[in-house]
Amino acid sequence: MLALIIVLVGMLLIVLSIIGRSEEIERGEKRVEGGGVIIVGPLPIVIGTSQRAALALIILALVLFVVVVATFILLARWTP
């Protein structure tokens, strides 16, 4: 039951944030930037609408890479 409540609250927060951002964009207060990261093996391919978005995605890709490598190292040490 708790898991269902957490999922519903998360969905509600997503909807509210989308509504809030769309109102800001309509008033011309915010500019939308976006992008994506495709990780093929150890190589991240970054696509962004601006340099700022691309830089944020590069940092995110590096952090995720470090987390994955650290997880593999820790799991390798704990398995017999």
Helix (H, G, I), strand (E, B), or coil: what is residue 14? helix
Q: 77 with 46, same domain? A: yes
Instruction: Give tens-digit pLDDT for 16-74.
Output: 888 877 766 667 666 777 888 888 877 788 888 888 888 998 998 889 889 988 999 99
Scanning the structure block, which residue is given the tokens 């820790």?
74
Residues 37 and 72 in one domain: yes
Task: Give phi and psi for 70, each to the nearest 5.
Answer: -65, -40
d(CA 67, CA 80): 22
**This model's pTM is above 0.85:** no
Cβ of 55: how many Cβ atoms within 10 Å? 13
Q: 56 and 76 share a domain?
A: yes
- In this structure, are 73 and 44 located in the same domain? yes
